[in-house]
Amino acid sequence: MKRIFIYNFLNAFQIFLGFIFQMLFARYFGASLFTDAYFVSMTILGFVSTVGQFFTEMFMQYYNDIRVEAHSEAKKFYQSVFNFSLLISIVSFIIAVAFMSPLLKIFVSGFDAERIRALRSFFSILAFNLIWARLIALNNSLINAEMRFMVPYLIGLLTPAFNIIFLLLFAKDYGINAIAVSILLSGIAGLALQQFYISRLLDIGFGTKFWHSKFKDLIKKSFSMRLGHQIWTLKDPITTNILSHFPTGTVSLYFYAFRIISVLFAITNSPILQIFSSKVSRLVSEVDFSGIKKLLKRTCAMNTGLFLIVLIPFAIALPEVLRFFFGNKFSPEDVKTIHYVFLALIPFHLILSIELPFVNITIALKQSLQVIRVAIVFIVIFGASVFILQNFLDVYTIPIALMIAQTQNLVVYVLNVQKVFKENLWNVQPAVIR
Domain ranges (residues) in the chain: 2-433
What is the reported pLDDT for 289?
76
Whole-number CA gyration radius for the chain: 22
d(CA 47, CA 25): 22
- 254 touches 244 (CB < 8 A): no
- 48 touches 91 (CB < 8 A): no
d(CA 226, CA 375): 10
What is the reported pLDDT for 282?
75
- 380 touches 213 (CB < 8 A): no
Burial of 153 (0-12, 13-18, 19+ CB in 10 A): buried
Quick check: helix, strand or coil at residue 178?
A: helix
Per-residue pLDDT of the chain (434 residues; tens, 9 = 90+): 556 667 667 777 887 888 888 888 888 888 888 999 999 999 998 888 887 677 777 788 788 888 877 778 888 888 888 988 898 889 989 999 999 999 999 999 999 889 999 999 999 999 999 988 889 988 988 888 787 777 787 888 898 999 999 999 998 888 888 999 999 999 999 999 999 998 888 888 777 777 777 777 888 777 877 788 889 989 999 999 999 999 889 999 999 999 889 888 877 776 677 778 778 877 877 777 778 888 888 888 887 888 888 889 888 988 888 887 776 778 889 889 999 999 999 999 999 989 988 888 888 887 878 888 999 999 999 999 999 998 888 899 999 999 999 999 999 999 988 888 887 655 544 333 33
End-to-end Cα distance, the chain: 35
What is the reported pLDDT for 68?
77
d(CA 326, CA 167): 17
Burial of 391 (0-12, 13-18, 19+ CB in 10 A): exposed
What is the reported pLDDT for 433?
32
What is the reported pLDDT for 425?
56
What is the reported pLDDT for 380?
96
